[in-house]
A and B are shown apart, each in its own frame.
Chain A
Amino acid sequence: MLQDPILEIINLKKVFHKTEAVKDVSFSVRKGTCFGLLGPNGAGKTTTLEVIEDILPKTSGRILYRGQERNSSFREEIGIQFQHTSLLNFLSVKETLQTFHKLFHNPVDLDELIERCDLQPLLNRMNNKLSGGQQQRLMVALALINRPELIFFDEPSTGLDPQARRNLWAIIERIKDEGKTLILTTHSMEEAEFLCDEIAIMDGGTIIAQGSPNALISTYCNGSTIILPRYAFGTDLNDIPFTWRIREDTIEIDTDNIHAGLTRMLNLDIDLSKMLVRSGNLEDVFLHLTGKQLRD
């Protein structure tokens, strides 16, 4: 049985001077799920998130938390991990945690939080001496310090190396397993696919598609993509009877029928020895919907 939405966004709009950053955005987030806002830089994801978090004022629209307009206790019940933020200089990790611990009415047990975010070895290290991944773990800990029910992650893994990214995802997975509701923004389809139960794809301040990752892929990109090096083509590319695109040294060919596609290319005497085949992903969905790539 589906849970009631913990958060409902209705016709949200945010205008900066004359620039409409968020245009009539609506979606709802069910309790205990991870909801992702996926889109390229400048799509309006962070602005949408910061308006919901009450960091920025909205221009119009409604934001309902547990069915009601946000009130003064909202800030006590949410956790936020910002994309661009900084911590107080010359404070150790432990002192930073202790400082933020005192700012909330009902904070978690610090030892438990330190263990959960794997911060024990860093406790006496100064904030400005932390690596990117360590800083993000501290930021996540600060986002969890007040026992939030709803946690916002804004581009959590941006700038992290693969190892640090995996570690952070493991922490977020654990939070999800505790039944917390998560909302995250990302421009990484890998991150969205790995962490999110439901995704809203944003572009130009609006939501252009919404659903589970599998549903979006099967709706918009139900085929496969054949990837071949450019040198494999002795023939004119226009002779290929499928949608294709050039990506640096490779050519990607989309087909709904992999068997027919491969047969056709063999008939054209194309060298398939270096061929790769992959199924559709969220990046293909975005490309299909907007005609541009997520990383543009």
Chain B
Amino acid sequence: MSLKRIWAMFMARNYEFFRDKAAFGWNFAFPFLIIVGFGVMFGKHDIKQFNIGVFPADTPAAVFHDSTIPKSLETNKRLQFLPFAHRSEGEMKLRHHKIDLLIDKTSSSHSYWINDSSPNGYLAEQIYLASFLPKDTQWARKQVVPGEPVRYIDWFFPGVIAMNMMFSALWGVGYVVVRYRKNGTLKRLKATPLTAFEYVSAQMLSRIFLLMFTLTVVWIGSDLIFHFRVHGSYLLIFFLFFLGGLNLCGMGLVLAARGTSEEFTSGVLNFISWPMMFLSEVWFSLEGAPKWVHTVSEIFPLTHLLAAVRKVMNDGATLTAVRTDILFLIITTIIFLIIAALIFSWND
């Protein structure tokens, strides 16, 4: 193995990435835009979770005017009231899940309509029915969870970073290698003493360098806006992302080790990345999902990366607490690298 050759290929790939302005810019813009978008959407405290249609009413101000709707419903900060002049308009919106509940504000029997296939409709109905109970009724004793609550953005942020890392690693390594094989760049390199192991190592190292660079810039940029709450060690989080990035690059190399069709490789990369994105809790928690879903999610490196990073970031976990995830990432990375080097083909 020659470090000089690995270094030469590492530098060549870095030049390519930093000079491809479109790809370079997108690597930063994509995660940043997603974080900002979700931050704006979920950052507000008075978010409206249910849409209630009311008729007959022409304006929002007319919704509670001369109405039989209980006052307690009007003051519920999670509800948004939408006026409809006629019942038929409201029914149309209800049928298409645009609103969760429709109320006749003039009905003495408090008539309402719901869409039976809407989960939100059921919850909105319960809120509506509860609003008729006397104000001081004590059903159960309310208590607030102790300690500092984890904001959605603090839970969500590592997911976006990891997702960006996954796409960047799989496409930036896997797809590029297939393209190089197809256009003969790899064949040109095969005519040199460069070995497959040296080549895949250089590709992995180059991509991990770029991933960590991107991570640092996006993290700092996002932190200036959202002021993330990090309870654990920044160094440990950085190390976990480094391991995760290396692992995903290795996976990309395995998928691209022999492929010659960009279209087919793109399909395979999608086939791997989309389930991984949905089952690794990038966007939402799998709490309550069937056991087999959890079992399947355990085979994805992204699951272990995210679980470990969130434990460190949100719960202040230490290296020892996330050692199982770290071990999984290290072992699978080594396996990926060995497989990629063994089955790697230079030619189409």
Give me the interface of A with B, judged by CB distance under 8 Å.
Answer: 53, 55-56, 75-76, 78, 80, 82, 84-91, 95, 98-100, 102-105, 142, 146
Most buried by A among B13, B15, B187, B191: B191
* Residues A56 and B192 in contact, CB atoms below 8 Å apart: no
Q: Does B97 contact A (CB under 8 A)?
A: no
Contact of A99 among B11, B183, B187 (CB under 8 A): B11
Contact of A103 among B5, B13, B16 (CB under 8 A): B5
* Residues A103 and B193 in contact, CB atoms below 8 Å apart: yes
Question: Chain B at the A interface: mostly helix, strand, loop or mixed?
Answer: helix
Known interface pairs A90-B16, A95-B15, A99-B12. Does A105 touch B193 (Cβ–Cβ under 8 Å)? yes
Q: Does B71 contact A (CB under 8 A)?
A: no
In the assembly, what is the distance between CA of A56 and CA of B184, in Å? 13
* Residues A95 and B12 in contact, CB atoms below 8 Å apart: yes
* Residues A89 and B187 in contact, CB atoms below 8 Å apart: no
B contacts with A, residue count (CB < 8 A) = 26
Contact of B16 among A53, A75, A89, A142 (CB under 8 A): A89
Q: Does B8 contact A (CB under 8 A)?
A: yes
In the assembly, what is the distance between CA of A13 and CA of B11, in Å? 39
Most buried by B among A76, A85, A95: A85
**Which chain B residues lie closer than 8 Å to A90 at the CB level?**
15-16, 19-20
Q: Does B190 contact A (CB under 8 A)?
A: yes
Shortest A137–chain B CB gap in Å is 15
Q: Does B291 contact A (CB under 8 A)?
A: no
* Residues B8 and A102 in contact, CB atoms below 8 Å apart: yes
In the assembly, what is the distance between CA of A55 and CA of B5, in Å? 19
Q: Does B188 contact A (CB under 8 A)?
A: yes
* Residues A84 and B191 in contact, CB atoms below 8 Å apart: no
Shortest A293–chain B CB gap in Å is 29
Question: Chain A at the B interface: mostly helix, strand, loop or mixed?
Answer: loop
Q: Does B185 contact A (CB under 8 A)?
A: yes
5 further A-B pairs in the complex, CB-CB below 8 A; given A86-B185, A90-B20, A98-B8: A75-B193, A95-B15, A102-B4, A105-B193, A146-B192
Contact of A142 among B7, B15, B188 (CB under 8 A): B188
**Which chain A residues lie closer than 8 Å to B346 at the CB level?**
55
In the assembly, what is the distance between CA of A86 and CA of B190, in Å? 13
**Which chain A residues lie closer than 8 Å to B180 at the CB level?**
86
**Which chain B residues lie closer than 8 Å to A53 at the CB level?**
191
Q: Does B347 contact A (CB under 8 A)?
A: yes
* Residues B347 and A100 in contact, CB atoms below 8 Å apart: no
Shortest A42–chain B CB gap in Å is 17
* Residues A85 and B192 in contact, CB atoms below 8 Å apart: no
In the assembly, what is the distance between CA of A240 and CA of B346, in Å? 57
In the assembly, what is the distance between CA of A105 and CA of B183, in Å? 26
**Which chain A residues lie closer than 8 Å to B7 at the CB level?**
102
Q: Which residues of chain B from 291 to 348 have a CB within 8 Å of any chain A CB?
A: 346-347
Contact of B185 among A87, A102, A103, A105 (CB under 8 A): A87
Chain A proximity mask over B175-215: 1 for CB below 8 Å, otherwise 0: 00000100111011111111000000000000000000000
Shortest B21–chain A CB gap in Å is 10
Known interface pairs A90-B15, A95-B15. Does A56 touch B185 (Cβ–Cβ under 8 Å)? no
**Which chain B residues lie closer than 8 Å to A102 at the CB level?**
4-5, 7-8
Q: Does B240 contact A (CB under 8 A)?
A: no
The 3 A-B pairs at the shortest CB distance, nearest first, are namely A102-B8, A85-B184, A90-B19
